[in-house]
Amino acid sequence: MPIYEYVCKQCKNKFELMRPFSKSTELADCPACKAKAERVLSRFACFTASESGDYAPAGGGGGCASCGGGSCASCHS
């Protein structure tokens, strides 16, 4: 069963719920104030290790606009 993230507009509480996919679009009751909360897009990070043991983001995309991917060494002072 997937885990979904929610944010309550009333009290700004962030929480997770494990729910069936069939209920993924339904509002959830906030555990703090019981108001209805909307599902938000979850963020996650995925890294991979090279043969040398260095870690790099998997799936492309760098941390800043001037990077082309893999390494952001040119972005940091």
Q: What is the pLDDT of residues 49-66, one digit of tens each?
A: 877 888 877 765 555 555
Helix (H, G, I), strand (E, B) or coil at 68: coil
pLDDT at 77: 43
**Residue ranges per structural domain of the chain:** 1-63
Look up residue 51 and give its two tokens.
């043969």
Q: Which pTM does this prediction carry? A: 0.57
Please check whether residue 29 is in contact with residue 19, taking contact to mean a CB–CB distance below 8 angstroms.
no
Tens of pLDDT, residue by residue over 19-57, are 999 999 999 999 999 999 999 998 777 778 877 888 877
Helix (H, G, I), strand (E, B) or coil at 75: helix
As a whole number of Å, the CA-based R_g of the chain is: 18
